[in-house]
Amino acid sequence: MKKKHSLGYWLMFVLMTLIAFVSFFPFFWMFLSSFKTQSELLSMPPTFFPNNFTTANYTQVFKQMPFTRYYINSLLTSGLNTLVGVISSSLIGYVFAKYDFPYKNVIFLVVLACMMIPYETLMPTVYKMMVGIKWTNSYKVLTIPYFVNIFGIFLMRQFYLDLPDDYLEAAEVDGCSQFEIWARIAMPMANSTTSSLVIFLFMASYNSFMWPLISVDSRKLFTLPVGIASMIWDRGNQYAMLLAAASMIIVPVCILFAFMQRKFIEGMTSGGIKG
């Protein structure tokens, strides 16, 4: 079916292309520049394509710091945090949306209130707590505090509120236990919202800097953001090398996004993210 597009459509098309270009440009520049020498990178006027193509920055990344270790730390902790975070958000959101229990609304209000306090103000308290139970400087401190995410709970609850009870009741008479209803019907139906949450939680954990910085001292436990920052502190700004590191760091995010993209966008448009 061929359809004539209106002027508005073409304006939109041009605008979207522009926005896409503007968003993509820095990444493209970063990628190209990671193959330049430090001096070329800082030269005036700046070059766009590398004059002297070099991969030295990449080898340096691995030489000057335990980059692989940081990478593994980041992937492991973020992966685990995302997995547990998605499950906990979905379960807790489901309970808030579909079950009745005393003081439900009050409890939910308290939970929401927690979201309104900026994380930075909570950090000292949480840190003291971690010191108290001797969790600092361990993988525990890099994972467990991420296992429950209030925004995630809120997002999933919103989805489940809109999910008709009939499906759940059908599952119930079809013989499911309460847990199976969630696991086999409700959770799969939340697919698109869950995908957006996967990206959100992964990014939140993968990018987090302050918390791993203050709660971990051992280099063996550093995640990518902290590891790179520590290299800067140790050896000063080596921009070309940083860009090489950054180019490698965004790879998992790109892969994740490519995997989840379609569902993510569905989730954005199908009433997943509200308020």
Task: State which of positions 72-131 bind another protein (CB under 8 A).
Answer: none
Residues in the chain: 275
Dihedral angle of Cα 217, 219, 224, 225, to the nearest 10 degrees: 40
Nearer Cβ to another protein (185/260): 185
Kindly tell me which of 32 and 189 has the beta carbon lying closer to another protein. 189
Least distance in angstroms from the C-beta of 191 to another protein: 7
Q: Which residues contact 244 (CB under 8 A, 6 or more apart)?
A: 34, 57, 58, 60, 61
Out of 11, 24, 161, 169, which residue is the one contacting another protein (CB under 8 A)?
A: 169
Q: Is 175 in the site for another protein (CB under 8 A)?
A: yes
Q: Which of residues 219-258 bind another protein (CB under 8 A)?
A: none
Nearest to 146 by CA among 226, 88, 216: 88
Nearer to another protein, 157 or 263 (CB): 263
Residues of 98-136 as b/e, b for ≥16 C-beta within 10 angstroms? beeeeeeeeebeebeeeeeeeeeeeeeeebeebeeeebb
User: Which of 83, 87, 97, 176 is the binder for another protein (CB under 8 A)?
Assistant: 176
Is 266 a binding residue for another protein by CB under 8 A? The answer is no
Nearer to another protein, 77 or 192 (CB): 192
The piece of 55-63, 119-127, 181-189, 233-241 that touches another protein (CB under 8 A) is 181-189
Torsion of Cα atoms, 36 then 42 then 45 then 49, to 10°: 10
Query: Smallest distance, Å, CB 32 to another protein?
Result: 43
Stretch that binds another protein, among 63-71, 80-88, 160-168, 243-251 (CB under 8 A): 160-168
Both tokens of residue 223? 């995640």
Which 188-207 residues touch another protein, going by CB under 8 A? 188-189, 191
Min CB(151)–another protein separation in Å: 25
Does 170 bind another protein (CB under 8 A)? Our answer is yes
Among 10, 167, 209, 259, binds another protein (CB under 8 A): 167
| Sites of contact with another protein (CB under 8 A) | 164, 166-167, 169-177, 180, 184-185, 188-189, 191
